[in-house]
Amino acid sequence: MALSREEVEHIARLARLGITEADKDKFCDQLSNILEQFQTLEEVDTNNVLPTAQVTDRQNSMREDNILPSLPQDAVLSNAPWREQEYFRVRAVLEE
Amino acid sequence: MVVSQTTKNIDYETVIGLEVHVQLSTKSKMYCSCSAAYSSAPPNTHVCPVCLGLPGSLPVINKQAVEYTMMMGLALNCNIAEHSHFDRKSYPYPDLMKGFQISQYDAPLAYGGWIDIETEQVVNRIRITRVHLEEDVSKLLHQTNSLGEIYSLVDVNRSGVPLMEVVSEPDIRSPEEARHYLMTLHSIVRYLGISTGNMEEGSFRCDANISIRERGTTRSNNKVEVKNMNSFKAVYQALSFEAQRQRELVQKGEHISMETRGWVDNKEITVSQRSKEYAHDYRYFPEPDLPPLVIERNWVTEIQKNMPELAQQKRDRFVEQYGLSLYDASLLTESRALADYFETCLKSPALQNLPKQKAAKELSNWLLGEFNRLLNLSNIDITRTKITPQMMGELIVFANDNIINISSGKVVLEVMFQTGKIAKDIIAEMNLARIGDTSAIDEIVKQAIQANPDAVADYKRGKEQALKFLVGQVMRISKGRADAKITAEIIKQNLIEGE
Amino acid sequence: MTRAVLERINKVEPAVHSFITVTEDIALKQAEKADELLCKEETTPLTGIPVLIKDVMCTQGTRTTCASRMLENFIPPYNATVVEKLNQCGTVMVGKSNMDEFAMGSSTENSAFFPTHNPWDVDRVPGGSSGGSAAAIAADEALFALGSDTGGSIRQPAGFCSVVGLKPTYGRVSRFGLVAFASSLDQIGPFTKDITDCALVLNAIAGQDSRDSTSSPRPVPDYTRALIPDLHGIRLGVPQEFFGAGIQPDVREILESAIKKLEELGASINRDISLPHTRYALAVYYIIAPSEASTNLARYDGVKYGFSYRDAETMWDNMDATRQFGFGPEVKRRIMLGTYALSAGYYDAYYLKAQKVRTLIREDYARAFEKCDALITPSSPSVPFKLGEKVDDPLQMYLSDICTIPANIAGIPGISIPAGFSDGLPVGMQIMAPQFGEEILLRTAFAYEQATEWHLKKPQVKL
């Protein structure tokens, strides 16, 4: 199961990971190797097997519609890398 | 993609499917206990680790939001899922705090419903694909500063506000029908009391998928997604524009590209926002932090039992029970608040001595006429009016018993509306009781005749208009209190006698 | 006691590197408060006890880095539920421990700051990802520590450092405030010097939390009551799949003598236990965990907190660069892997398939627990390996979790306890029990511990 460079680029873009040319080669190799190991799963007959998404014993875990205090505004913004007044600031969001 | 070159006379039909996002009016947010009332809050004050997407935070489902969505599902004749769960929908964007939205993918709370939409006496059934629950995103405020830098500011207050999405099948065939469909959904959420439905504030928003196809075929051209429609009118205009644009393209033999277009309200056009060539890959998978929902049927029954009557049912009942015209009943049930006010008035002690259908008819006339005018003029919501149902009932009884005439009644209503005083006091203070006593009227008539010899002369020459003028003069002198019928009779008598 | 621990930290840290942050000021303040409580006799068994918290759990006002450049300066405005619970017990936080970045790794070499060294042999790794917590307990830098375990991150390092490490049942301990790696697998648990301490800490941190929807409403028993030094009537299973070719011979031998000891203590041993899907557990894990992680780590975009690259022209380029420079290689590898496994066209073959095999693995365990009360396996297939030995070979590194991964997949509890040494290097024994079977697990471990002296051995840290 070899991964192409184009696929690596596509995945990196979906994941919003900047990668260098060298990274691309490395990921091609390493991810292809790992995916090859995953091939073993193909031997398992999973017809009529339901998927397990989680292993909790719970269902209908809900809360009542009550308001609790929010964080103080300063605490919300305390870790902001770029702040302007009471807001987080980012560069203009332009469509790609 | 087959594009016919000779398409001049081909008849096209429009195919529209709508996705409607409704902010639910819960007290707290979808997955945390921050207040959901974000619209007038200072920026970043309704924020906690969960809705800010801080590392380590975990979501907890708001039960009220689930129940609201079930109500909507039931109102739209949907099946309520026995097993439902939430999914992560991944798309990086700076307004999406976790980098994914907790939404529902393959197990929505409600699915497979329909509603009937009546457009110009034609009823069309629109199938509802699904109703599911998700969360709203933060607000990006676009800025340009004095240095000319363009950037965005992020306010997280809206992040995590419950959003219910209603997806229709592409069963809508015209912009007008789309508008009606939306208005019907809007009426339902208002009747259910699950959303403010405020379109300008974004509590009720709509995206459309629209394509055209040759009538009688099932193969559509590429569909276009239209966004940024912030009013019912905008939906109608944007879809009309888009349908026309697509027809023209096809007629010119051009390709319709699959894309997202935004409606620009002040220019009344749609413009391309982004092409779908690089399609989103949302990578949905079940949200591991939220255990599944198993919806027992008795829970559904309980909710069904507590569902309020919806507009159409109420309209039909008003016709049946009160003998109102379909037209009046429709107007009265346009908003639940007005319909409720109408029925509370009818139940007020004041109106118990009138025959029910008579009371309903009178009341309906007052509410849809003068009262409605006053509400619109002052921009006051009916739920805030100073006129209690009992006060309204008393006014109607005074009018019906001929204690006051119609024009005085309007004055009483207006004063009542402004001051909250009861009709009896207003009538006494302003001396508005109808004058029915013939000798009292006779006196005023004599004044009027004396003051208007020209009119008298005209009447005698056979001008019927002059009689109306004289009645008007009597009304002016009596401040509208004189009984109009009696006045006319007495004027005639006086003029005959005077010959 | 706090001062003694702080002194010990100063002494051995240059050799062990267990701590990312030493919180001396907080420790002294909390110790003072604990003294007051002790005077007033308003105490719990943990009052005044120095604890080390893995740097993946949020501590209000104290930076929480996840051993990542991305969160190097991140100071949470809230406490994890476990931290809150410990504070209520009057514990004394001495610091935040080193780990593999975002808990992704098996050697603590993936820390963005520095690797932690094994106190038993400072040229070797302490295991991971909770290597800092494990090494610190072995080196007496705290009396107990908290770790998190997604595929063995508590049990494997506990084995490597010859301390007790418990991964409770999924849902037993609240995850609120635990920075998520793989949400359906993550669980917080204690590192302690012995089983009694382990039971005491579990008593303190277990229980339902309204802020974690997956936490269980089951009542929390007093786990110290399970500490019975006798195994008569206990049926132990020895699954053949955990004693095959992938396991080092010396590890196998040590486990065999441990099993003999358990038998002497009264347990019946059943070697006819099979968990046939065990060989698929690694693949299942390395699909499910990165898939969940790829979304859990999507929030690090440089907008709200953490590292933020700002020199690019556009928001998107900034975001890409923030993640490029903020994450280390193993984290990026797993984000890539998970994004791929969930992407259009591959979801069914990878993620969905893994979920189905997860079901089969759970069923294996359910069947096994019909025939026995607990399972005995090694905690890892080898003794601690050398620093640098496996960094360039991700697959080899992944294999060192082969014994511990299945418990996370099945959601069951597992404990690693000291079981002996091979050439002076620790070997851990893992005991697994059915969901919420912590009591049987603690009883078995306690009986073994009382009958052996491995837990009393101390490393001579080469300074």
Measure the CA–CA gap between B259 and B257, rounded to whole angstroms: 6
Contact A89 B28 (CB under 8 A): no
Chain A residues with CB under 8 Å of B85 CB are 53
* pLDDT tens string B224-247: 999 999 999 999 999 999 999 999
Chain B residues with CB under 8 Å of A73 CB are 42-45, 47
Q: Which of C74, C299, C339 faces B98 most closely, judged by CB atoms? A: C299
Q: Two tokens at C342?
A: 């969930």
CATH topology for B438-497? Arc Repressor Mutant, subunit A (1.10.10)
- Each domain of chain A, given as residue ranges in start order, spans 1-43
Could you tell me if C10 lies within 8 Å of chain A, comparing CB atoms?
no
Measure the CA–CA gap between C408 and C400, rounded to whole angstroms: 15
In this structure, the number of other CB atoms found within 10 A of the CB of residue B63 comes to 16
Looking at residue C41, what is its pLDDT? 82
CATH topology for A1-43? Histone, subunit A (1.10.20)
Residue of B nearest to C339 (CA): B283
Q: Is B144 exposed, middle or buried (0-12, 13-18, 19+ CB in 10 A)?
A: exposed
Could you tell me if A19 lies within 8 Å of chain C, comparing CB atoms?
yes
Q: Which of residues 166-205 of C touch A (CB under 8 A)?
A: 170-171, 184
Contact B44 A95 (CB under 8 A): no
Contacts of B64 (CB under 8 A, 6+ apart): A64, A65, B24, B26, B27
Contact C301 B58 (CB under 8 A): no
Q: Is the pLDDT of residue C184 over 70?
A: yes
Angle at B128 (CA atoms; ends B125, B129), nearest 5 degrees:
140
Query: Cα torsion for B304, B306, B308, B313, to the nearest 10°?
Result: 40
Instruction: Write the DSSP assignment of B154-209 as a string of letters.
Output: EEGGGTT-EEEEEEE-S-B-SHHHHHHHHHHHHHHHHHHTS----TTTTSEEEEEE
Q: Which of C64, C213, C295 faces B58 most closely, judged by CB atoms? A: C213
Residues constituting chain C: 463
Sheet with A83-84, edge to edge strand ranges: A83-84, A87-91, B150-155, B139-144
* pLDDT tens string A17-38: 999 999 999 999 999 999 999 9
C129 as an active site residue: the answer is yes
C153 as an active site residue: the answer is yes
Measure the CA–CA gap between C413 and C411, rounded to whole angstroms: 7
The answer to whether residues B435 and B478 touch, using CB atoms and an 8 Å cutoff, is yes
Query: Cα torsion for B344, B345, B349, B355, to the nearest 10°?
Result: -110
The answer to whether residues C127 and C426 touch, using CB atoms and an 8 Å cutoff, is no
Measure the CA–CA gap between B347 and C391, rounded to whole angstroms: 81
Mean pLDDT of chain C: 97
Distance from CA of A22 to the nearest CA of B (A): 25
Chain B residues with CB under 8 Å of A76 CB are 44-45, 47, 52, 156
Q: Which amino acid is residue A71, in one-letter code?
A: L
Looking at residue A96, what is its pLDDT? 52
* pLDDT tens string C63-95: 999 999 999 999 999 999 999 999 999 999 999
Contacts of C169 (CB under 8 A, 6+ apart): C187, C216, C411, C412, C413, C435, C436, C437, C438
Looking at residue C338, what is its pLDDT? 98
C422 as an active site residue: the answer is no
The residues with which B495 forms a beta bridge, in sequence order, are none
**For residue B138, cis peptide bond before it (omega within 30 degrees of 0):** no
Measure the CA–CA gap between C245 and C82, rounded to whole angstroms: 39
Angle at C156 (CA atoms; ends C269, C398), nearest 5 degrees:
110
Helix/strand/coil for C126: coil
Q: Is the pLDDT of residue B3 over 60?
A: no
Could you tell me if B278 lies within 8 Å of chain A, comparing CB atoms?
yes
Measure the CA–CA gap between C249 and C237, rounded to whole angstroms: 20
Distance from CA of B307 to the nearest CA of A (A): 19
Q: Is the pLDDT of residue B2 over 50?
A: no
What is the helix (H) or strand (E) element at residue C4, kind and residue range?
Answer: helix C2-16
In this structure, the number of other CB atoms found within 10 A of the CB of residue B304 comes to 13
Looking at residue C239, what is its pLDDT? 97
* pLDDT tens string C395-443: 899 999 999 999 999 999 999 999 999 999 999 999 999 999 999 999 9
End-to-end CA, chain A = 31
Contact B293 A90 (CB under 8 A): no
CA distances from A68 to B61, B68, B450, C177 (A): 15, 21, 78, 18
Interface probe for C, chosen from B54, B66, B105, B142 (most Cβ of C below 10 Å), is B54
Could you tell me if B55 lies within 8 Å of chain A, comparing CB atoms?
no
Inter-chain CB pairs, A–B, below 8 Å: 116
Q: Which of B49, B61, B288 faces C184 most closely, judged by CB atoms? A: B288
Contact B62 A62 (CB under 8 A): yes
Contact A73 B42 (CB under 8 A): yes
Q: Which residue has the tokens 């706090």?
A: C2
Candidates B202, B234, B166, B190; CA nearest to B18 is B166
CA distances from B429 to B385, B433, B475 (A): 22, 10, 19
Chain C residues with CB under 8 Å of B90 CB are 294-295, 298, 342
Measure the CA–CA gap between C82 and C173, rounded to whole angstroms: 8
* Cα B453 to chain centroid, rounded: 55
Chain B residues with CB under 8 Å of C180 CB are 55-56, 289
Catalytic residue from among C111, C133, C148, C153: C153
Q: Is the pLDDT of residue B255 over 70?
A: yes
Interface probe for A, chosen from B154, B275, B300 (most Cβ of A below 10 Å), is B154
Contact B150 A60 (CB under 8 A): no
Could you tell me if B156 lies within 8 Å of chain A, comparing CB atoms?
yes
Interface probe for A, chosen from C72, C330, C337 (most Cβ of A below 10 Å), is C337
The residues with which B113 forms a beta bridge, in sequence order, are B128
CA distances from C12 to C54, C414, C418, C463 (A): 18, 30, 22, 7
Measure the CA–CA gap between B404 and B435, rounded to whole angstroms: 9
For residues B201-208, average pLDDT: 95
Candidates C155, B152, C457, B279; CA nearest to A82 is B152
Question: What are the E-state strand segments in C150-193?
Answer: 164-167, 187-192
Measure the CA–CA gap between B344 and B43, rounded to whole angstroms: 41
Measure the CA–CA gap between B19 and C391, rounded to whole angstroms: 50
Q: Across chain C, which distance is largest between two alpha carbons, in Å? A: 71
Measure the CA–CA gap between C206 and B349, rounded to whole angstroms: 62
Q: List chains touching A (3+ CB pairs under 8 A).
A: B, C
Looking at residue B446, what is its pLDDT? 87
Chain C residues with CB under 8 Å of B92 CB are 298, 301, 319
Per cent of chain C over pLDDT 90 is: 95
CA distances from B36 to B47, B372, C176, C245 (A): 10, 32, 22, 58
Looking at residue B279, what is its pLDDT? 62
* pLDDT tens string B117-134: 987 778 999 999 999 999
* pLDDT tens string C244-269: 989 999 999 999 999 999 999 999 99
Contact B56 C298 (CB under 8 A): no
Chain B residues with CB under 8 Å of C170 CB are none
Q: Is the pLDDT of residue A43 over 70?
A: yes
Domain spanning C2-218+230-276+363-456, CATH architecture: Alpha-Beta Complex (3.90)
Angle at C58 (CA atoms; ends C52, C60), nearest 5 degrees:
95
- Each domain of chain B, given as residue ranges in start order, spans 12-298, 311-430, 438-497
Contact C184 A53 (CB under 8 A): yes
Query: Cα torsion for B475, B481, B486, B490, to the nearest 10°?
Result: -50
Looking at residue B498, what is its pLDDT? 59
The answer to whether residues C106 and C389 touch, using CB atoms and an 8 Å cutoff, is no
For residues B269-292, average pLDDT: 85
pTM recorded for the entire structure: 0.91
- Each domain of chain C, given as residue ranges in start order, spans 2-218+230-276+363-456
Residue of A nearest to B51 (CA): A70
Could you tell me if C275 lies within 8 Å of chain A, comparing CB atoms?
no
For residues C198-207, average pLDDT: 98
Q: Two tokens at C330?
A: 């193993």
Contact C299 B55 (CB under 8 A): yes
Catalytic residue from among C18, C68, C97, C129: C129
Contact A62 B156 (CB under 8 A): no
The residues with which C187 forms a beta bridge, in sequence order, are C149
Candidates B363, B313, B362; CA nearest to B338 is B363
Q: What is the DSSP letter of C276?
A: G
Looking at residue B277, what is its pLDDT? 47
Looking at residue B8, what is its pLDDT? 54
The residues with which C421 forms a beta bridge, in sequence order, are C426
Mean pLDDT of chain B: 91
The residues with which B260 forms a beta bridge, in sequence order, are B225, B274
End-to-end CA, chain C = 22
Instruction: Write the DSSP assignment of chain A as a string of letters.
Output: -PPPHHHHHHHHHHTT----HHHHHHHHHHHHHHHHHHGGGGGS--TT--------S--S-EE-S-------HHHHHTT-SSEETTEEEEE-----
End-to-end CA, chain B = 92
Which of B424-438, C185-199, C356-370 comes out lowest in average pLDDT? B424-438
Chain B residues with CB under 8 Å of C409 CB are none
Which is it for strands B259-264 and B269-275: parallel, antiparallel or unpaired? antiparallel
Q: List chains touching B (3+ CB pairs under 8 A).
A: A, C
Distance from CA of C455 to the nearest CA of A (A): 32
Candidates B125, B18, B74, B12; CA nearest to B301 is B74
Looking at residue B408, what is its pLDDT? 87
Which is it for strands B100-103 and B87-90: parallel, antiparallel or unpaired? antiparallel
